[in-house]
Amino acid sequence: MDAAEEAHIADPNLGTVVVTAAELEQRIAELGQRVTADYEGRPPLLVGVLKGAFVFMSDLARAIRLPLEFDFMAVSSYGSATKTSGVVRIVKDLDLDLSDRHVLLVEDIVDSGLTLSYVRRNLLARGPASLEVCALLVKQGLQKADPDLRYVGFTIPPEFVVGYGLDVGERYRNLPYVCRYMGQ
């Protein structure tokens, strides 16, 4: 048993593992191959949604065999809660101009799709040549409309999860897997 597994067992807030570290590694390698093939000859600008997507984006970028550029934005719809507030706001905007760029938006998780819809509209208004979305996790049955995702890592049950960049109150981002959060 490794240190992460021992810490997991000792923490009563952590429930069952939803996506293992090995599953993450394998699926991200597959996504990297698809992105590489799809963007051949037109390297994308990866736009990560902070803070949750930073771990996924880092591993995804290493799996893509193309020259890449990166930028980040931070949006908030949760605060420190475990349910979305329904209000989305930009906390940190992009530094780069998106005009005529092939943009791949990298999201950690899609719940209701509210945040993604807001971010997509915002980025499209900046005139990119193309805009696609790569989401690590999509919660089943919570989206009010089709989120139009080009790349999806995993579809998971509609439960609150932490790990692999996902947090509650800034905790658990460093877990190498995704698990259910049982705390209140």
* pLDDT number for residue 141: 75
Identify the sign of the CA torsion 4, 182, 57, 73: negative
CATH of the domain at 161: 3.40.50.2020
Q: By 3-state DSSP, what share of the chain in percent is helix, strand and coil, each rounded to 5?
A: 25, 30, 40
Residue 113 in contact with residue 143, Cβ under 8 Å?
yes
pLDDT category, 130, cuts 50, 70, 90? very high
pTM exceeds 0.85, yes or no: yes
Range of the domain at 38: 3-181
pLDDT category, 184, cuts 50, 70, 90? low
* pLDDT number for residue 1: 47
* pLDDT number for residue 142: 60
Question: C-alpha angle with apex 67: 102 to 119, nearest 5 degrees?
Answer: 35
What tens digit of pLDDT does each residue of 78-106 get?
Answer: 555 545 556 778 889 899 999 999 999 99
Q: How many domains does the chain have?
A: 1
Averaged pLDDT, 7-20: 85
Terminal Cα distance for the chain, rounded: 27
* pLDDT number for residue 177: 96
Residue of 59, 108, 111, 167 marked catalytic: 111
pLDDT of 123 over the 50 cut: yes
- 100 as an active site residue: the answer is no
What DSSP character marks residue 55? Answer: H
Residue type, 33: Q
Q: What CA dihedral angle connects 114, 52, 92 and 129, to 10 degrees?
A: -70
What tens digit of pLDDT does each residue of 137-166 get?
Answer: 999 876 565 568 999 999 999 999 999 999
Say whether 29 sits in a helix, a strand or coil. Answer: helix
